[in-house]
Structure 1
Amino acid sequence: MHQRPLGPFSVSAIGLGCMNICHAYGSPIPESEAERLLLSALDQGVTHFDTAALYGFGASETMIGKVLSAHRNRFVLASKCGMQGVDVNGDGKLVRVIDGRPATIKATCEAALRRLKTDVIDLYYLHRWDRQVPIEDSVGALADLVREGKIRSIGLSEVSAATLRRAHAVHPIAALQTEYSLWTRNPEIAVLDACRELGVSFVAFSPVARGFLCGPMDVAAFDPKDIRRSMPRFAADNYARNAELLPAYQQLAREAGCTPAQLAIAWLLHQGPDILPIPGTTRIDHLTDDLGAADVKLSGDLLAQLDALINPRTVHGDRYNDQANREVDTERF
């Protein structure tokens, strides 16, 4: 696997996002399947695993600790704080809460270390900026964790260029993570340039557009718990219009000699050596397909055709609904 810098680390150009194994797109896969997937990723050269306290309310971190802690020296471990499950009503039911207070960040880290079965997290992100807490205070708590040796570097997720600069003034930010793909170009407004100005690695989640770029799908058949049900682009009317882009996109994949998923990830890799896609999946065959994108070479002409085909002017619907948009700090078209 080709290598790219991730803050102070060198990792596989394509990492593994570990949300899908327990969260967001329906019922969690059996633990045995999650174990095989994680070990297969490691065996295929993945050295960047990305998880969060939120994913499955700790289930993803627990699975990584169970499966990969014995191989801890073989990969860079990234996780996130600032958004997790909390028993708000005292009835045992966890509710997703954004909380960037220093004490909460430190407590979340301690719990993560136990679940991950490690004494240090390589890259620890603030999953969401809690607008009730100055970003300087949240990053200050993360800086304390660096000094205490509990984390090695600090990341931010779904923030704007202005917030990144404020955070970076408190402590160097190693990486910024946000959604980036052919159909989500928001980073190109400002934050990608800010990352390059400050020397911050850019981690791109949902590089295959939450499965859209892998091929036609039946949005009416999504699992009731699938988060895409709340995303405007997957609403029936918007999806029908977006799906009209797929035949031409699939033809470009054939011209490139790769699969549609590989084309999406290869496009990201061609946007710069500082960009690190982290596709997620529950299937080993999809994982192998995704990783094959590292060897796909795209011509300038084909890249131009992709840009013209799928971009903010041709995609219908916002990436998030109104509530989710209020929770992120990213720039919007």
Structure 2
Amino acid sequence: LSRFFDSIQFDLQVSRLGFGCVGLSGVYNAPLSHEEGCSIIKEAFNRGITFFDTADIYGEKHDNEIMLGKALKQLPREKIQVATKFGFVKSESKGRPLIEVKGSPQHVRACCEASLERLDVDYIDLYFQHRVDTSVPIEDTVCIKYIISFFLGYNKSSSNECFTCLLLVKMGELKKLVEEGKIKYIGLSEPSIDTIKRAHKVHPITALQMEYSLWTREIEDEIIPLCRELGIGIVAYSPLGRGFFGGKGVEETMPNGSQLANYPRFNGENLEKNKLLYTRVSNLAIKHGSTVPQLALAWLLHQGRDIVPIPGTTKVKNMTNNVGSLGLKLSEEDVKEICDAVPVDEVSGRREMRLLSEYTWKLANTPLK
């Protein structure tokens, strides 16, 4: 088990490896039927995975949440931890897809209640803001404050100053949803350093969902140390680099219609340069008697028990392979050797698609209250 600390009194325990459900609804490959998707989810549970991640934006007409909800009816709910997310809103402009982010208190509640209905559950274990709404103070999303301000202006050294007194008289939507029992724990995805600190002050943040893998390690310098200081866990999404370290399939041939075509690292010259990184990891996997995905996941698992990767797949054999990473033991020297095989300055191309480039954690500050 991995343990995400919410406070001294309460904590969330999840399986060491989670399962990202997004791919079941067709992102990198063709979508699965509900029957096929439920079969994969049930098999994951049978192999010890109890933590399942979805979001209200995954799949056509929220199909991913509906599929997971159907699977949950065939499993013991009390033994499963469900994470879902709100915030992204799809739209179009002149025939082109657009993504916007909404984090207003009204939107938070509407999304939560809709997710509860689609999942057909009484509560959500871990509820993430999918991306930070940079137009709304994070305190309003997590914990609304009605503010009474008293401005006392005076002249001192030719400058005007004022004092503001803040009176907290009402809790915000996420905190209210916790108090109502509709969600158990609050999480943020891709928040900035400042946003994490401010949100955590008004209500404990249990976990962050951040991209983290062998070729995406930008959270190591600031985000991870801050999370450990505050007792916040990390759910690592795309732990196999969107399948790049998942095996030869993606590295050699991109599936038709795959959204990977929208990611710079998988295009043209970038992909050709990145293949060298795959070859290095592949050689190390042979040395350790493992597969490439097992080694990539084992490296991530060895970064700390407060980090939980959530690889996804549409094939049982791949999931079985991923679970095998739990038994792969690495020394400190092994971890360093694997890390050195993929120097971050040799990775070619941005990690995110252009459509989401403005929603990365480095740009996720919100207005001050």
Deviation at 1:96, TM superposition (A): 4.3
User: What does residue 18 of structure 1 align with?
Assistant: 21
Does the aligned pair in 2 maintain the 1:158–1:328 contact within 8 Å? Answer: yes
Pick closer, same or farther for the CA change 1:219–1:142 going to 2, 3 Å: farther
| Ranges in structure 2 where 5+ consecutive residues have no aligned partner | 6-10, 144-172, 365-369
Does the aligned pair in 1 maintain the 2:98–2:355 contact within 8 Å? Answer: no
Q: Pick from 41, 62, 74: which aligns with 2:79?
A: 74
Deviations 1:289-320 (A, max 9, x none): 11111111012222111111103112111101
Is residue 289 of structure 1 aligned with residue 321 of structure 2? yes
User: What does residue 32 of structure 1 align with?
Assistant: 35
> 1:1-333 counterparts in 2 under 5 A?
3-7=1-5, 8-56=11-59, 57-70=61-74, 71-85=76-90, 96-140=99-143, 141-216=173-248, 217=250, 221-224=254-257, 226-330=258-362
Pick closer, same or farther for the CA change 1:95–1:32 going to 2, 3 Å: farther
Letter in 2 for 1:209: G
| Ranges in structure 1 where 5+ consecutive residues have no aligned partner | none
| Structure 1, 114-123 or 55-64: larger mean CA deviation | 55-64
Whole-Å separation in 1 of the counterparts to 2:254 and 2:239:
22
Does the aligned pair in 2 maintain the 1:61–1:115 contact within 8 Å? Answer: yes
3-state DSSP of counterpart to 1:29 = coil
Pick closer, same or farther for the CA change 1:73–1:311 going to 2, 3 Å: same
Deviation at 1:134, TM superposition (A): 1.1
Deviation at 1:67, TM superposition (A): 1.4
Deviation at 1:52, TM superposition (A): 0.6
Deviation at 1:138, TM superposition (A): 1.0
3-state DSSP of counterpart to 1:106 = helix
3-state DSSP of counterpart to 2:235 = strand
Deviations 1:191-219 (A, max 9, x none): 11111010001110111111111233367
Does the aligned pair in 2 maintain the 1:222–1:229 contact within 8 Å? Answer: no
Deviations 1:177-236 (A, max 9, x none): 110001000111311111101000111011111111123336764332x22111111111
Letter in 1 for 2:47: Q
Does the aligned pair in 1 maintain the 2:262–2:354 contact within 8 Å? Answer: no
Letter in 2 for 1:35: C
Runs of 4+ in 1 over 6 A off after TM superposition: none
Does the aligned pair in 2 maintain the 1:136–1:166 contact within 8 Å? Answer: yes
3-state DSSP of counterpart to 1:239 = helix
Pick closer, same or farther for the CA change 1:96–1:170 going to 2, 3 Å: same
Does the aligned pair in 2 maintain the 1:189–1:331 contact within 8 Å? Answer: no
Whole-Å separation in 1 of the counterparts to 2:353 and 2:133:
18
Identity of aligned pairs, percent? 40
Whole-Å separation in 1 of the counterparts to 2:283 and 2:25:
33
Whole-Å separation in 2 of the counterparts to 1:157 and 1:23:
21
Whole-Å separation in 2 of the counterparts to 1:292 and 1:127:
29
Does the aligned pair in 2 maintain the 1:120–1:152 contact within 8 Å? Answer: yes
Does the aligned pair in 2 maintain the 1:69–1:116 contact within 8 Å? Answer: no
Pick closer, same or farther for the CA change 1:258–1:221 going to 2, 3 Å: closer
3-state DSSP of counterpart to 1:80 = strand
Q: What's the C-alpha RMSD, in Å, of the aligned pairs?
A: 2.1
Whole-Å separation in 1 of the counterparts to 2:220 and 2:262:
24
Letter in 2 for 1:179: E
Does the aligned pair in 2 maintain the 1:184–1:311 contact within 8 Å? Answer: no
Whole-Å separation in 2 of the counterparts to 1:331 and 1:104:
22
Whole-Å separation in 1 of the counterparts to 2:197 and 2:252:
39
3-state DSSP of counterpart to 2:85 = strand
Letter in 2 for 1:61: E
| Structure 1, 128-137 or 297-306: larger mean CA deviation | 297-306
Does the aligned pair in 1 maintain the 2:54–2:85 contact within 8 Å? Answer: yes
Q: How many residues align?
A: 326
Does the aligned pair in 2 maintain the 1:180–1:187 contact within 8 Å? Answer: yes
Whole-Å separation in 1 of the counterparts to 2:18 and 2:363:
25
Deviation at 1:84, TM superposition (A): 3.8
Letter in 1 for 2:32: I
Higher Cα Rg, which structure: 2
Whole-Å separation in 1 of the counterparts to 2:3 and 2:30:
34
Whole-Å separation in 1 of the counterparts to 2:2 and 2:253:
39
Letter in 1 for 2:12: F
Deviation at 1:123, TM superposition (A): 0.5
Pick closer, same or farther for the CA change 1:204–1:218 going to 2, 3 Å: closer
Whole-Å separation in 2 of the counterparts to 1:52 and 1:291:
23
Letter in 1 for 2:301: L
Letter in 1 for 2:343: N
3-state DSSP of counterpart to 2:71 = helix
